[in-house]
A and B are shown apart, each in its own frame.
Chain A
Amino acid sequence: MEESSVNVINLNQCDEEFIKELEKFGAEELKECIQCGKCASTCPMALAGLDFYIKRIIHAATLGLKDVLLEDSSVWGCQSCNRCVEICPMDVKPYEVIQAVRRAAVRVESCPANTYEGLRNLYKNGHAVFPKGFEERRKKVGLPEKPPTLVSHEELRKKFQEVLKQTSLADVAPFKLD
């Protein structure tokens, strides 16, 4: 039988260090939020019906509810549309809070598998989106099989990889940067 749980969040689990971590990761204006709800009325995550959407994420963050946030994968459904940033009356930059939660989550490997797939593609080919069969498609419209990007430039790709090796990708990637 599935274990049932009650619908109560324990506020004593507030983790002040987590709040500081989020601020460090770009959620600098987190505490300015007055929960007016303007972002939530237009956030695609809220409109689409994800459990956690911008307003709730920011509130949970200010309460330091680390486990609640990191156990939920909603942040990875953020469209980065930045409409919240554009309209936020307190200039909280809500999107930066989402990114901060992602940045904290990825360090405890709490992210969807396709995140790593994108990172692997980016590192290996220089392109996060790298679908099969593109050569045929390009030929059909009379373009060269490979675009003039990193896929066509081996030497530059190595340099690009050198750049990425100097970033936090080196600490976070669950694959070898070689």
Chain B
Amino acid sequence: MEEVKGYVGNFDIKIKKKAKYVDWDKCIGCGVCTEICPVKVPNEYNYGLNQRRAAYIEYPQAVPKKAVIDEPNCLYFKTFKKTGKPACQICEKGIPAKNIQGCPADAIKFDDRDEFVDIKVGAVIIATGFKPMSKTHFKEYSPQSPDVITSMEFERILSATGPTGGELKRPSDGTKPKTIAMISCVGSRDERYHSYCSKVCCMYMLKHARILKEKYPYINLYLFFIDVRTAGKDFEEFYVYTKGLGAKIIRGGRVSSVDEKPNGKLRVRGFDVDLGSPVELEADLVVLATAIEPPDGVDDIGRLFSATCGREGFLREVHTKLYPVETAARGVLIAGCVQGPKDIPESIAQSRAAASSAASLIIPGKIKFEAIVSEVDREKCSSCGVCVPLCPYSAIKIETYKDKEKAKIEPALCAGCGVCASACPSRAITFHGFTTEQVIEQISALVEA
């Protein structure tokens, strides 16, 4: 998203489509380039647990299933920048000497450029998701150990399309762990990072426990919780069922330390409120349920649309109960974790609500506005421009009026906050519904009463 102009019903949006260096009209997603490319870099999709090539398809289920070339890592571009000469091009031409074929669809396009697309829309739904916290913040949990991983990394290890092809292996030596400790509230409920509860961790820890116990019943599994928060339909039942599979639940004690032993095992120290005692455990693998964080750049997106972020950095809804998918910018709606931590059912419910709200806004073809907006008396306006940067909704512009530069408020963008009216040194702005006369009348009435 490069640029946003306009307002509800009439957004003009400029979108940047990054150069992919593969012609997607030709690419058939066969994956030949992703196998013959000689450059290996950490695979972001698997959180660096394995490697991908510089020519790659983001993940096996990617839609559309098309390849891209990662320019900063590609040998062709690296050499070209240094020497001005082309190099490698194996993805395109293969290695004829070894009888290896290049792209069969002739789709490699080294001269590809960024593209800009302009679209016109009536409403926008922001649903950019979340980012899981990295383990590096948590120095007390031995982040230097490869066998201390985040739940997201563990999710990838458990996945059939993950770095181990679904085989349970610990990152350090590829052995199958016999004892696994899972730690909740890592970075959540923590003033140093995020004071909120990430809401989904208790349940996904139980989900991981269930998958593990069903597949590998002999694995010792210890789940360390502060509280077990399983509010939601069928959630408590899921918890009780997982306990029944033999997952051990330790409650009331956030883990204080994970320490490496010379034999490669990890010592985990927690507290068990039910035993009323500190407890410790030797584990082969430690999984940290790290907090859900706002995604990178959410504040930039918010600024583009004049939607505001809350204290924790998530996009803020207008009203928690009454307007849960609306932002301060009309026609800009939010869904999913960009608004705050939530699970899949809740995200789906919210995105359907956002879609319905968008539809009900634009389908009638006309939009009603609140009468409580500000208006500039252009005869009085001195063109000082004070109001323009003050407006939180970018609703004020300087326009030519009778050959002079004057302020104009776009009523579709104005949210009726009144900041401009109180700041205008020429008293040229009227805040409808709250004019000076009206306010004085109200005060008089109150005094009389």
Knowing A47-B278, A55-B271, A87-B140, say if A38 contacts B253 (CB, 8 Å).
yes
Flag whether B252 is at the interface (Cβ < 8 A).
yes
List which A1-54 residues lie within 8 A (CB) of chain B: 32, 34-43, 46-47
By the criterion CB–CB under 8 Å, are A38 and B256 in contact? yes
B265 part of interface (Cβ distance < 8 Å):
no
Q: How far is the CB of A57 from chain B (nearest CB, A)?
A: 14
Q: Which A-chain residue is minimally distant from B186 (CB atoms)?
A: A89
Binds A, one of B38-46, B158-166, B188-196, B374-382: B188-196
Chain A contact residues: helix, strand, loop or mixed: loop
Partner of A91, one of B192, B257, B279: B192
Measured between beta carbons, the chain B residues less than 8 angstroms from A34 are: 189, 226
How many chain A residues touch the partner (CB < 8 A)? 20
Which of A41, A47, A87 is within 8 Å of B253, CB to CB?
Answer: A41
Chain B neighbourhood of A89, CB < 8 A: 185, 189-192, 254
Check A38/B255 contact, CB under 8 A, given A55-B271, A89-B191, A90-B191: yes
Residues of A within 8 A of B226 (CB): 34, 36-37
Interface residues of B, count at CB 8 A: 20
- Where chain B touches its partner, the secondary structure class is loop
Contact string against A for B residues 256-288, beta-carbon threshold 8 Å, 1 for contact and 0 otherwise: 110000000000011101000111000000000
Q: Which residues of A contact B191 (CB under 8 A)?
A: 32, 89-91
B215-231 contacts to A (CB < 8 Å): 226
Which residues of chain B in 181-212 are interfacial with respect to chain A, using CB atoms and an 8 Å cutoff?
A: 185, 189-192
**Count of A-B contacts with CB under 8 A?**
60
Using an 8 Å CB-CB cutoff, how does the interface string of A86-122 with B read, 1 for contact, 0 for none?
1101110000000000000000000000000000000
Q: Which residues of A contact B279 (CB under 8 A)?
A: 41
Min Cβ gap B396→A in Å is: 42
Inter-subunit contact A41/B189 (CB<8 Å): no
**B225-260 CB contacts (< 8 Å) to partner A:** 226, 252-257
Task: Assess whether B254 is in contact with A36, with CB atoms less than 8 Å apart.
Answer: yes
Knowing A34-B226, A87-B256, A91-B192 touch, does A41 contact B269 (C-beta < 8 A)?
Answer: yes
* B271–A40 touching, CB < 8 Å: yes
Chain B 19-44, CB within 8 Å of chain A: the 1/0 string?
00000000000000000000000000
Interface residues of A (CB under 8 A from B): 32, 34-43, 46-47, 55, 83, 86-87, 89-91
**8 further contact pairs, Cβ within 8 A, besides A37-B226, A38-B271, A42-B269:** A36-B226, A36-B253, A37-B271, A38-B254, A41-B270, A46-B278, A89-B190, A89-B254
